[in-house]
Chains A and B, each alone.
Chain A
């Protein structure tokens, strides 16, 4: 029997009835994570930072979670899960708990790249055993598309609007993977919901690592990015095929690219269907497109070289 049929039979960690937009990839990602994480070997406990996902799955008196789940505040999901993990360790030492439990923290880019960065850095440095997932939707989409550290170059948001002088965000996206690599973690990865098999394998690998792990996942946002809801998975696939979102993992400093597109598509293919980049294709803005492509190429070539060198620490 096919792999997915086996997975589909299991109990779901996240149930329906949540209030996410139609075509939102947040729940697709978390369903894929839960499908991979829920086994007979261990139980899962999750925490969420404030964001689209938290407000729509934990709308009191309802919860969409079929597993123990905690929400605290925007900036401290990593600290919250550290506390839960520390309590579990203490109880286990005293013999009050004999189950094997693994911990997952789920946040969006606002709660990871900007607001939650110091909590995340601290938790990783202390060496708690947890998996941190960042669903990167490129802006603060929960409050209506304000720019964040994850917003790409030239994107039009409400706080970096396209005007007659400045066209969208002037800075480029923060490279969170390199920031976290500086903590010398054992396992970091970048994934996309369009490649579900790769994503599920990464979640399984990360949960087996004894220590902090991180997975960065692209999360196309139909309302903020401005594309029809049915195109959500295609957008994630285009991001991967244009190398805007390379799928790779860093195992003890060694880079491994898990998917190399057969033909690397030009970034236009990814930018054109999105309304937030509509101004790039207007007359007189050709420079923006070239700059975007140059940034993507630089990063992709850097990754290729790092993989080739095979240097770890």
Chain B
């Protein structure tokens, strides 16, 4: 757990939580078995991955375009890969075990060079 537990006299009435959206501090990335890798070269910024991501793990830049994947929260369900409409697909899954100790650049080459 990221935060210290509250004392009895610090808990608000009705168990109200005063910081909205504080579950951001809880990282669910460790649940992942497979890891999605993004290829910006073929991405068409349609944002289908964003609208279908259950974990808000698609990063968005100030223009509203795709800016990468938030690996701290991505649970690796693979919906983004399944729904990616670009040809060839701009996202691909790889087993976490096979992605260990490799940089994102290497993984991109491995998955998208064919």
Contacts and interface: CB of A to CB of B under 8 A. Distances in A.
A292 interface: no
A22 B31 CA distance: 8
Contact of B17 (A15, A26, A62): A62
B11 to A, nearest CB: 9
Interface stretch (A160-168, A228-236, A259-267, A283-291): A228-236
Contacts of A16: 23-24, 28, 55-57, 70, 73
Nearest to A62: B23
Contact of A230 (B48, B56, B60, B82): B82
B39 interface: no
Nearest to A229: B77
Contacts of B40: none
Given A63-B17, A64-B23, A5 B3 contact: no
A203 B24 CA distance: 26
A231 B78 CA distance: 8
A7 B51 CA distance: 9
A91 B26 CA distance: 36
Contact of B78 (A6, A14, A31, A229): A229
B86 interface: no
A41 interface: no
- Interface size class, chain A: 35 or more
Interface in A266-298: none
Contacts of B27: 17
Nearest to A26: B54
Interface string B20-51: 11111111100110000000000001111011
A19 interface: yes
A4 interface: yes
- Interface size class, chain B: 35 or more
A57 interface: yes
Contacts of B63: 1, 5, 9
Interface string B52-81: 111111001011110000100101111101
A14 B28 contact: no
A32 B50 CA distance: 10
Nearest to B4: A61
Contact of B15 (A17, A21, A60): A60
A233 B47 CA distance: 15
A196 B23 contact: no
Contact of B64 (A8, A32, A231): A8
Contacts of B56: 12, 14-16, 27, 31
B13 interface: no
A61 B17 contact: yes
A229 B25 contact: no
A1 B5 CA distance: 45
A230 B81 contact: yes
Contacts of B32: 22
A25 B26 contact: no
Given A1-B64, A18-B23, A22-B75, A61 B47 contact: no
Interface in A2-54: 2, 4-9, 12, 14-28, 31-32, 35
A17 B24 contact: yes
23 contacts: A2-B45, A4-B51, A5-B45, A6-B64, A8-B47, A8-B50, A16-B24, A17-B27, A18-B23, A20-B54, A22-B31, A23-B77, A27-B54, A31-B54, A32-B51, A61-B5, A61-B6, A68-B20, A222-B77, A229-B77, A230-B93, A232-B77, A233-B82
Interface of A: 1-2, 4-9, 12, 14-28, 31-32, 35, 57-68, 193, 196, 222, 228-234
Given A5-B45, A61-B5, 4 more contacts: A1-B64, A5-B65, A17-B26, A230-B79
